[in-house]
Amino acid sequence: MNARLILLELFDAALRAVGGRQRTAEFLRNFKLPGPVAVFAVGKAASAMAMGARDVLGAAIQSMLVITKHGHSEPELSRDPRVQQLESAHPVPDGGSLAAGAEFESRLAALPPDTLPVFLVSGGSSSLVEALREGVALADLQALNARGLAAGWDIASLNAQRAKLSRLKAGGVARMLAGRRALALFISDVPGDDPDVIGSGLLGRDAGSADRIERHVIANIEAAVRAVTNAAHAHGLVLETDAARFDGNVDAVAATFLARLRDCGSDGLVWGGESTVTLPAVHGRGGRNTHLALSMARQLRANEPWLLLAAGTDGTDGPTGDAGAIVDAGTGDRASIAGCDVERAWREFDSGTALEGSADLVHTGPTGTNVGDILIAIKQSAHSLRGEPLPRML
C-alpha cells in the first residue's frame, strides 16, 4: 500500500480508538446508573459523547444539553425533543459561550431531586461555556484568551488564568452541586489527564465543599498512540514511541522529532502531545500542526525517505478547518512550483498557504474526539520518492 495511505489509515485508527461516541457508550454499558439522568455534554466532542450516552441510556435520559463548537453539532441529536444543542466559539469565547453558560446554570439549578446529572466533558470546554464572576466582562475573557494563545502559553497555564474569571470553572460546578451525586466522564487533552485541568476544571474538585462526583477519564492521547502502533503492526511496521508527551515550542519539537527519527532503528515513530506557538502580531493561515509539519519539511534532506503526519485529533488545527498535514522531502519544491515562497510562509506563520500549494493538507472535519495532537513518521519507498503520484487529502 502507498505510504501516504498507510499514514492516513494509522491516523484513522487513532481517531477510532478515542472516538467520543464509542468510548462513552463502552463505559456506560459497564456502569449501572440509578434512575433517570440529565446529560450535560460540553466540548468539541460533546455531540459524539452525547450520542454514545443516548445509545446506551435510551429512555433513562430525561434531558440533554449539548454545548459544542460551531459546526460540530450532530444533526441526529437535533431531531430528539429531549436534546438542546448550542454552538459557541473556540478558541476565543463569544456571546454564545455566555448564553450557553446561562442555560447550563439554569438547568443545573432546576434538576429534580431524583435525577442523576451525567457530565460529558472534552477539550474546548474552557471557551465554549462560561459564566463570569461579578465585575468581569466578556471582553476581559476574550483578551485573556487572545493573549495566552498568541504568547504560546501551555494549556495548564492558560486554563488556570481562565478559571480565575469564571463561576463555572475551577470546581464551580462541584460547588453548585453542593454534595449531590453526579457522574463525570472526560476525554482528556491535557497533561496528566487531570479533571481539575480539563476544560479549566469545569468538573474539577472544589476543596471547600462536599464532593460526590465520580470522575473517569475514558480517552487520552496514550490510547491513540497505542492504536497507531497496533495498526502499524498489522502492516508489518514497527514504530517507536515515547512515554512522555511532546510539548513546548513547535520548532524545538520539530527538531527533536527529526533527530530521534534519524537515529531510530525501526520503521518510524509515533508521538502524542501538544506543541505551542508564539504568534507575531500579523500572521497568516495555519495552526501549530501545520507549522510543525512545514518546519519538519524544511529540515528534511533531499531524498530522505520519511513521510510525516502532524495533526490534531479534533480535526481542526487552531482557527483553521485543516486537521494538519502530511509532508516529505518534496513538500517545499511542490509549494514553490505552486507559487508560494516557503521561507516567507514559515516566518510569517502562513503554513496553511504553503501546504495548500503543495497539496499536503489533511482534512477530516469534526472527528468526535479531542485528545491533543499526534505525530507519525514512516518510510516511503524509493519509487515514491522518484515521483509516483501520491494521494494528498483525507
The Cα–Cα gap between 319 and 137 comes to 23
**Host H or E run for residue 345:** helix 342-347
| Rounded distance between C-alpha atoms, residue 49 and residue 44, angstroms | 10
Region of 99 please: left (phi>0), alpha (psi -120 to 50) or beta: alpha
The reported pLDDT for the residue numbered 38 is 98
Q: What end-to-end distance do the CA atoms of the chain give, in Å?
A: 15
Q: What is the pLDDT of residue 318?
A: 80
Q: Residue-wise over 156-174: b if at least 16 C-beta within 10 A, else e?
A: eebbbebbebbbbbbbbbb
- Tell me phi and psi for residue 215, to 5 degrees: -115, 135
Burial class (CB in 10 A: 0-12, 13-18, 19+), 64: buried
Q: Domain 3-15+222-385: what homologous superfamily?
A: MOFRL domain (3.40.1480.10)
Look at residue 381 in the predicted model and tell me its pLDDT. 67
pLDDT at 1: 65
Shared fold status for 3-15+222-385 and 19-219 = no
342-373 residue pLDDT tens: 999 999 999 999 999 999 999 999 999 999 99
The domain segmentation of the chain, as residue ranges, is 3-15+222-385, 19-219
Closest CA to 309 of 333, 292, 322: 292
C-alpha cell at position 63:
434531558
The distance between the two most distant Cα atoms of the chain, rounded to a whole number of Å, is: 68
Given the C-alpha cell 429512555, which residue does it identify? 59
**Assigned CATH class of 19-219:** alpha beta
Q: Are 124 and 106 in contact (CB under 8 A)?
A: no
Q: Is 266 helix (H, G, I), strand (E, B) or coil?
A: coil
Per-residue pLDDT in tens (0 to 9) along the chain, 394 residues = 689 999 999 999 999 999 999 999 999 999 988 889 999 999 999 999 999 999 999 999 999 999 999 999 999 999 999 999 999 998 889 999 999 999 999 999 999 999 999 999 999 898 999 999 889 999 998 898 778 877 778 777 877 787 788 999 989 999 999 999 999 999 999 989 999 999 989 999 988 878 999 999 999 999 999 999 999 999 999 999 998 999 999 999 999 999 999 999 999 999 999 999 887 778 889 999 999 999 999 999 998 999 999 999 999 998 889 999 999 999 999 999 999 999 999 999 999 999 999 999 999 999 999 999 999 999 986 444 434 434 444 4
Asked if residue 52 lies in contact with residue 185, where contact means CB atoms within 8 angstroms, the answer is no
Backbone angles phi, psi at 65, to 5 degrees: -110, 125
pTM of the model: 0.92
Q: For every residue of 12-72, which 3-state class applies, written as one string?
A: HHHHHHCCHHHHHHHHHHCCCCCCCEEEEEECCCHHHHHHHHHHHHHHHEEEEEEEEECCC
Distance separating alpha carbons of residues 370 and 313, to the nearest angstrom: 5
